[in-house]
Amino acid sequence: MSSETLSNLSREDRRFEPPAALAADANVKEEAYARADSDREAFWADAAERLDWGRKWDQVLDWSNPPFAKWFVGGTLNASVNCVDRHVEAGNGDKVAIHWVGEPDDDTRDITYSQLKDDVSRAANALIELGVKKGDRVAIYMPMIPEVVVAMLACARLGAPHTVVFGGFSADALASRITDCEAHVVITSDGGYRRGAASALKPAVDEAVEKTGDLVRHVLVVRRTGQDVDWHDERDVWWHDAVDGAPAEHEPEMHDSEHPLYVMYTSGTTGKPKGILHTTGGYLTGTSFTHWEVFDLKADTDVYWCTADVGWVTGHSYLVYGPLANGATQVMYEGTPEKGRWWQIIQDLKVTIFYTAPTAIRTFMKQGREIPDAYDLSSLRLLGSVGESINPEAYIWYREVIGGERCPIVDTWWQTETGQMMISPLPGVTAGKPGSAMKALPGIAVDVVNDEAEPVGNGSGGYLVIREPWPAMLRTIWGDDQRFKDTYWSRWEGLYFAGDGAKLDDDGDIWLLGRVDDVMNISGHRLSTTEIESALVSHPKVAEAAVVGAADETTGQAVCAFVILRDSAGDGGEDIVEELRRHVAKEIGAIAKPRQIMVVPELPKTRSGKIMRRLLKDVAEHREVGDVTTLADSTVMDLIKTKEGSSA
Ligand code: ATP
Ligand code: MG
């Protein structure tokens, strides 16, 4: 972006006040903002008190060598003890930690905190037998089964940082991550269930191990599907042999607050994935506190469900570490969102808090509300959204159809790098606006600035930045301090550059506008992808939309849109393209009218549901399509290119 600010086009006047009962009994009230402002470090120290520490810290924050932060300096703790042992010691051993729901019908397991403690201890002992020591990295490539949580916590217990790789990624993607963090042990399974069929995982591990030379010494394999696997006796070990027979007692060591907890590679939406390093004390403080704060968690009564895969940061912060540190009861589901299955699970397990991504919500909108309407969703009391901006239309649908118009929606902005939620409404405090993530959470200092790093002020757009360190912030990029500085801290002195565009409305509330790299320049106007996509999605025939700026001789760039129609719209009719172009012009102005609209069956998305606009830009500019290795389904680009060929 140049010094010109982002044009601020869309309007949204709907407001939803917090339910009175929730507001009265909220975990975090309005006063928290002022308390955090008056003494940020004291605020986070209070949040850290919610955890069990081996040794208390001497200093809350050491920021003497920016951008390298140290939180709770001198303190020691063990993340797995905080997530498991302490709940058993507090008398909650019989409480269900995880209601696990497998993809095949009737394949379920309830795991109590006591059982989880025993399993984690056994797995820790088994990893020791395989030679894993404190500081060693362990790669995890698994489906959504309870063993993946056990494996992560066992690593945390030993102080062996894990790197979880999404089970849908290729052998190449796995190999590059194993190599980047030099893992000697890989934990996997024979396979997992996807869309009703068993699909193999072990062959990809075999291939990846092959590609990484003699780096990997052991592969620990969970038997999940029972399918045949190639076996290498000197290297491969069955989980049921190594873990099930191991002792259920393991004496945990207290690790330094800054001991590495895990490395997570970013989605790669904008480029080569970065190995984001998170450490222990600050990360666990930031995730457990925000999980309790933003979801208003009542650990004794709530049933929480986050639909994210563990291969994504959301699965780390808000499926494993945050909820378990808080002693929550949660749902974990192995499958993908098939028609009514999610709503069946909410009905059966009486889920009260539900956290998912806008892409899933739009998929359900596409299929029609009759499907969720057939289930009893009255147990729900709070809904969350993460991964991209929720379009106002999707917000309203989520609120009405899933939330029965009673549940507040928390639209949570954060990143792999931030580790914890940063911008979100507080459900008992904030009157929500559809499409806005609202305000920085208490203790978090974000701003929107222009090229000169000056605050743009209310009513304008610019770059989203973070002004002050926060507990769960990334500590570096694994093995590459220079890339860490260059990527996030070099644009302006002392400011963290998030890479996202945002605007402040007249009340000072924040609207995320998409990636700065994706901002379009149309005849000198800077337009956001998010606003035009939201305008398209507000048309009753459109389910999903992606917008890119393609080179154009007269206007510099032109808006090109890719849309998926709702099932009820059929093929949209002959004039659908013209109808949608007019609709965008009416909603936000003639300047935003797409030059070209392609109706497509699918959009290219990462595992976390993010649209890879750079690939669509390749199509719009008639180029060879770039790297597709982090797509959830790499065949999607072929479908789109076929469409392109037929319409050109
Ligand atoms: P890479 O950095 O490799 O391109 P990525 O940014 O897609 O990958 P993540 O860390 O999973 O990887 O995603 C964080 C990004 O997701 C944010 O920078 C933002 O663009 C988007 N995002 C997440 N939550 C929200 C939200 N509530 N509203 C708007 N955007 C969001
Ligand atoms: Mg990113």
Distance from the alpha carbon of residue 271 to the mean position of ligand 2, in angstroms: 9
What pLDDT, in 10s, does the model give residues 177-188? 999 999 999 999
Is the pLDDT confidence value at 627 over 90? no
Token pair, residue 588, equals 């936000």
Token pair, residue 638, equals 């072929």
Distance from the alpha carbon of residue 465 to the mean position of ligand 2, in angstroms: 13
Is the pLDDT confidence value at 156 over 60? yes
Element (H, E) at 354: strand 353-356
Position with higher pLDDT, 466 vs 2: 466
CA dist 636 → 503, 514, 515, 544 (Å): 32, 22, 22, 15
Distance from the alpha carbon of residue 416 to the mean position of ligand 2, in angstroms: 7
Distance from the alpha carbon of residue 175 to the mean position of ligand 2, in angstroms: 21
Residues with CB under 6 A from ligand 1: 266-270, 273, 313, 386-389, 411-413, 415-416, 437, 498-500, 512, 515, 608, 610
* Position 194 confidence tier, pLDDT thresholds 50, 70, 90: confident
By most ligand atoms within 8 Å of CB, the mutation choice from 610, 613, 631 for ligand 1 is: 610
R_g (Cα) of the chain, nearest Å: 24
pLDDT for position 13: 81
Ligand number nearest to the C-alpha of 512 = 1
Distance from the alpha carbon of residue 542 to the mean position of ligand 2, in angstroms: 27
Distance from the alpha carbon of residue 388 to the mean position of ligand 1, in angstroms: 6
How large is the average pLDDT for residues 492-517?
94
pLDDT for position 404: 98
By most ligand atoms within 8 Å of CB, the mutation choice from 177, 265, 267, 294 for ligand 1 is: 267
Report the nearest atom of ligand 1 relative to the CA of 610: 7
Report the nearest atom of ligand 1 relative to the CA of 312: 11
What pLDDT, in 10s, does the model give residues 392-420? 999 999 999 999 999 999 999 999 999 99
By most ligand atoms within 8 Å of CB, the mutation choice from 166, 169, 266, 466 for ligand 1 is: 266
What pLDDT, in 10s, does the model give residues 217-252? 999 999 999 999 999 999 999 999 999 999 999 999
Token pair, residue 310, equals 């563990």
Asked if 387 and 608 touch (Cβ cutoff 8 Å), the reply is yes
Which of the residue ranges 117-131, 265-279, 306-320, 321-335 would you say has the lowest mean pLDDT? 265-279
Ligand number nearest to the C-alpha of 511 = 1
* Position 647 confidence tier, pLDDT thresholds 50, 70, 90: very low
Distance from the alpha carbon of residue 268 to the mean position of ligand 2, in angstroms: 7
How large is the average pLDDT for residues 78-103?
98
Strands, E, within 479-611: which ranges? 496-504, 510-515, 520-522, 525-527, 542-552, 556-565, 596-599
